[in-house]
Amino acid sequence: MIDDDIGNRREVDGNRREVDGNRRAVDGNRREVDGNRRAVDGNRYAIDGKSTSAAVRDATPSDDRGGASDAPSAAGDRTRFFFSLTPEQILDAVESAGEQTTGVCYALNSLENRVYEVELEGGGRVVGKFYRPGRWSDETIRDEHRLLAALAEHEIPVCAPLRFGDPRDTLHHTREGIRFALFPRMGGRSPDELFADDYHQLGRLLAQIHNVSASLELQHRPALTPQTYGRDRLDDILAFGDMPAALEQRYAATVERLIELGEQRYARALEGTRLFVAHADCHRANLLRRDGFYFLDFDDAAVAPAAQDLWLLLPARPTDCPKELEELLEGYEQFRSFDQRQLGLIEVLRGLRYVRYVGWVARRYEDPAFSRAFPHFGSETYWQQQLIDVAEQVELLERAEQPYSWG
């Protein structure tokens, strides 16, 4: 995901690594593959005031079947290439855009996709994003790109993909059929914390993003619902088949209760509401602070309630950060009306995010990067904690019909 990737070069173990230990000569150029420097989960997240491991869970889920169109055999072949992308393939893809590289590339922080920063002759840099096969179709990715282009045209601070090739386009394919796009490299840093003025500014920007998105016809993005984030992901978790039987029964029943409550809340809060494609993964690590804020990583963009893009920015549950919520909503309402009924969806959305994250890891666990990043995934202790987290959300939803208010 260009997401947690652009402009950040993070190290897994603090060392710069040579991909194959050799400086390579590709197409007559000496290419120095100077160090896959990865950070699997090296961003500091504070989504809901929990520990780092829980907050990473809140911040990074990414898996949907919607929009995928690869045939299983084709997707499988491409996935094998995807797992073993070489520096030569990365550099060749960038050079197919008409750019000459120095041969230096760095792996950036991304699990769902493969993302590299590539150095160009003359001193510039671009970021190449290689999409995981079998997840999105061309049309789904193009909707993401159309949204980014429209936001950039309205001078909203995002990182839009570059157009190149003949005909000029934002989406291309490697010789192995892996989809990729190029983005400008943007300097800046992820904010360690947000202040009152920041929340006000972010609210204003999110409202403008929503206004532009609501004006577009983006028909190929998935929907964020209790079905897609809850029941579909529960199926993935149960298919993984690594949960103790006693825990599995309790976990499945608890998730089903969360889904039931979520469907009830959705029906009440969204009655008469026209939804649009939201960012849907708008947490602090997907912000870049330079001259103001830039929004990164629209890879998970989905048809969703507006509240989805607000609650992820809060440092805790709304009752524990009323000032931040007030600033966020006051800024938002300067450009777009916010339906307060959606405040009742925040804990539903939080619970669904928990489930979706686990389903994402379960579906991706065959990827060696995932098994390295989540060594404790599937342990009994892990499943017990997941049950506790979802049960806490169910208890909160059963206790309060509308736990939050504003104004």
* Residue 197 known to be catalytic: no
Q: Which of 64, 143, 232, 281 is catalytic?
A: 281
Q: Which two tokens stand for residue 228?
A: 């897609």
The 3-class secondary structure across the chain, one letter per residue, is CCCCCCCCCCCCCCCCCCCCCCEEEECCEEEECCCCCCCCCCCCCCCCCCCHHHHHHHHCCCCCCCCCCCCHHHHHHHHHHHHCCCHHHHHHHHHCCCCCEEEEEEECCCCCCEEEEEEECCCCEEEEEECCCCCCCHHHHHHHHHHHHHHHHCCCCECCCCCECCCCECCEECCCCCEEEEEECCCCECCCCCCHHHHHHHHHHHHHHHHHHHCCCCCCCCECCHHHHHHHHHHHHHHHCCCCHHHHHHHHHHHHHHHHHHHHHHHHHCCCCCCEEECCCCCHHHEEEECEEEECCCCCCEEECCCHHHHCCCCCCHHHCHHHHHHHHHHHCCCCCCCHHHHHHHHHHHHHHHHHHHHHHHHHCCCHHHHHHCCCCCCHHHHHHHHHHHHHHHHHHHHCCCCCCCC
d(CA 37, CA 337): 43
Kindly name the residue from 34, 70, 297, 299 that is annotated as catalytic: 297
- Measured CA to CA, the distance from residue 145 to residue 46 in angstroms comes to 28
Instruction: At 3, list the tokens.
Output: 């997401």
Active site residue 281: yes
HSE-up of residue 323 (Cα within 13 Å, Cβ side): 5
Under 8 Å between Cβ of 296 and 3: yes
Distance between CA atoms of residues 374 and 386, nearest Å: 14
Q: Write out the catalytic residue numbers.
A: 281, 297
